Structure 1
Amino acid sequence: MDILSTLLENATLVKIIKLITWILFIIFIIGFIRKILKKRIEDISIRYKAQKGVEIVGYVLIIFLVLMAFTVDSIKDYTIIIGLFTAGITFTLQELILSIAGSFYIFFVRVYKPGDRIEINNIKGDVIDIDSIYTTIMEIG
């Protein structure tokens, strides 16, 4: 018991244990979300892109945690930097983000699927393909 209490008094070791715990938790969440996407999305290429997106977000979180664990001790500095960075990125990529959010809505809610007849901006047609940003329709007269 003395050995355990001595080890837990070491601040660096405690940081490493917390970091490893968070990394394992993020890896578990990545796997869980990938399983949900595998069951929910039928199209293989869309499923692959969604799973890759989840992996990339998870790995970015892991890198962020590692940097945070061994650099600046104040979380305020990171929140200010991350806040300004994300505000700039969001403003710059606003239209792309809205398109991707709309495509997630279409994929998960299944508003329409290939083969359905839809009307968008007074253009009627049959849905040919749904991509991550575009919906391709064959226009009808």
Structure 2
Amino acid sequence: MIMDALNFDDPLIRKLILSTGIVVITYLIGFWVVRFINNKVEDFKRRHQSRRFTYYIIFFIDSIIITFIWLEDPSSLTTYLGFLSAGLALALHQVLLNIAGWLLIILRRPFGLGDRIEWDQVQGDVIDIRVFYTTLLEVGNWVEADQSTGRLVNIPNSTIFKAALFNYTRGFGCIWNEIKFLVTFESDWERAKKIVLETGYEHSEEEIEERARRRIIKMSKNYMIKYGKFTPIAYVEIKSSGVQVTLRYLTSVRKRRISENQINESILKKFKDEDNIEFAYPTSRLYRRTEEGKFLGSNE
């Protein structure tokens, strides 16, 4: 009955059926390709990238074929695209910006899947890159030391043109971290500095320092960048409540909290054994002029 109602001589009906057939066929092909990828590719990152690439190819093929199906005259494609572009530029400028941002991300690769980045004031690990937005598994925020919050954050790809992007993973593959220890003015700050620096060396990762050194040499071929020191270093600074000793050291991007915890525990144990080192904290002092100074107007 439905077949009787359809007039296959109608060009519109033929185009609808042909377009539907193309979509179904390409969907089935894509389904089997993705199934093959899931069974054969063991690496998680490569498997996810391969699936994304398959979806993009199918979408592109469908768009091209269906466009030619619905065009009355293929030679008018240029004119058609011109009017279409003008209309899209006005009505869908944000969508086009997202697509342009996605192309920039795919071609220039400022970050990739698995990278830890800070983008548009959001920190997280990149878990998906789509045409219109990129998905991050958030870290930080109310959780300290760059640990995961468990939230997924979708950032429009157009943001790549207007917000700063920080990549923790590219370049060194590690980051500089600093831990501050405040001791009293009466403490032996030189001894405290020595203990802090020794602890930094005890917990330093030689493979990280060597990897950073190799990457700096490689990066210097393309960028004006130079580092001369990759081992821990300690700095001393005078504060209002005491002497601050700052330990600066290299650590893996995802091990910052672990390394801080290990170093802090070691420092607490070592300072406990030192009689002439005490931690400082903000204090206030009450000064009585009549007891500690002279009376106003006194000649003595």
Q: CA deviation at 1:86?
A: 2.8
1:124-139 matches, cutoff 5 A: 124-139=123-138
Taking the aligned partners of 1:88 and 1:98, their CA distance within structure 2 comes to 14
Q: CA deviation at 1:51?
A: 0.8
Mark the CA change 1:54 to 1:80 in structure 2 (over 3 Å): closer, same or farther. closer
Partner residue of 1:59 out of 65, 76, 79: 65
Taking the aligned partners of 2:97 and 2:84, their CA distance within structure 1 comes to 18
Query: For residue 121 of structure 1, what is the aligned residue in structure 2?
Result: 120
Q: Tell which structure's C-alpha radius of gyration is larger.
A: 2
Q: CA deviation at 1:127?
A: 1.4
Query: For residue 112 of structure 1, what is the aligned residue in structure 2?
Result: 111
Runs of at least 5 residues in structure 1 that lack an aligned partner in the other structure: 1-40, 70-76
1:1-40 matches, cutoff 5 A: none
Q: CA deviation at 1:99?
A: 0.7
Taking the aligned partners of 2:129 and 2:83, their CA distance within structure 1 comes to 33
Q: Does structure 1 residue 43 correspond to structure 2 residue 42?
A: no
Query: For residue 68 of structure 1, what is the aligned residue in structure 2?
Result: 73
Q: Deviations over 1:3-34 (max 9, x none)?
A: xxxxxxxxxxxxxxxxxxxxxxxxxxxxxxxx
Larger strand percent: 2
Mark the CA change 1:126 to 1:63 in structure 2 (over 3 Å): closer, same or farther. same
Taking the aligned partners of 1:59 and 1:128, their CA distance within structure 2 comes to 31
Equivalent position SS for 1:132: coil
Q: Deviations over 1:105-140 (max 9, x none)?
A: 212332211221111122222212222222111222
Taking the aligned partners of 1:43 and 1:56, their CA distance within structure 2 comes to 20
Query: For residue 88 of structure 1, what is the aligned residue in structure 2?
Result: 87
The one-letter code of the counterpart of 2:54 is Y
Equivalent position SS for 2:60: helix
The one-letter code of the counterpart of 2:136 is I
Equivalent position SS for 2:52: helix
Taking the aligned partners of 1:89 and 1:101, their CA distance within structure 2 comes to 13
Query: For residue 103 of structure 1, what is the aligned residue in structure 2?
Result: 102
Mark the CA change 1:78 to 1:125 in structure 2 (over 3 Å): closer, same or farther. closer
Aligned residues: 95
Equivalent position SS for 1:118: strand
Taking the aligned partners of 2:48 and 2:109, their CA distance within structure 1 comes to 11
Mark the CA change 1:130 to 1:85 in structure 2 (over 3 Å): closer, same or farther. closer
Give the TM-score normalised by structure 1: 0.51
Q: CA deviation at 1:78?
A: 7.2
Taking the aligned partners of 2:48 and 2:107, their CA distance within structure 1 comes to 11
Taking the aligned partners of 2:95 and 2:67, their CA distance within structure 1 comes to 22
Q: CA deviation at 1:79?
A: 5.8
Q: CA deviation at 1:53?
A: 2.9
The one-letter code of the counterpart of 1:139 is E
